Structure 1
Amino acid sequence: MHMVTAVLAPDRDRFRTDQDPIELATHLPGVARADTPVRHTRIVVGPCRIGIVVFVQSEGRGAAFTAARVACERLLQRAETLTGWSLVSLVVSVR
């Protein structure tokens, strides 16, 4: 099991000021799905940042990084309320 920390932030050119971070976070539990190696998530929402800690069941750190990136990118593509947000950081913790 690997812990991956992701940060989502708004793209200043496309960010809508009426977006409520708590509303945005309602889509984030969808990161952990049965068809991915993502097993568990923790979410911290701030005014211009959403932090996600993702626990990934994988053979190595590279596979954990890829699985978390794919899950976050899929989330950003599918959640209309996350329009204007992007993945700005993704780090696999070293054990």
Structure 2
Amino acid sequence: MIIGEGTAMIMLFPEPVFKGFAGNEIADTTKGTEVLFSIGAGSPEEVDDMVRRAVSAGGTVYGKTGYKDGWMYAGGFVDLDGHRWNVLHMDMSKMPQE
């Protein structure tokens, strides 16, 4: 799967193949989070759309879409294997300057 403009690639494997690459046991995603994948979005609407499409494909929402700190808009979903994904739009013009 290629995300965005071809700058990120994610390979999804059946568990036996993945286990061969990883060289150890596969984490039980019902008991803990091994990784959080974040995908950048171009707008809040793109965040909403991506989360909506994940849910229509069988995923579940763990973080409702909405603004955080006034300049980030995000939403989170869990895929069918229990992995957590964060979709995030950052309006850098509104980012606090310290």
> Same fold, TM exceeding 0.5?
no
TM-score (norm 2): 0.30
Per chain length, whose mean CA-contact separation is higher, i.e. which structure has more relative contact order (CA < 8 Å, sep 6+)? 1
Q: Higher helix fraction: Structure 1 or Structure 2?
A: 1
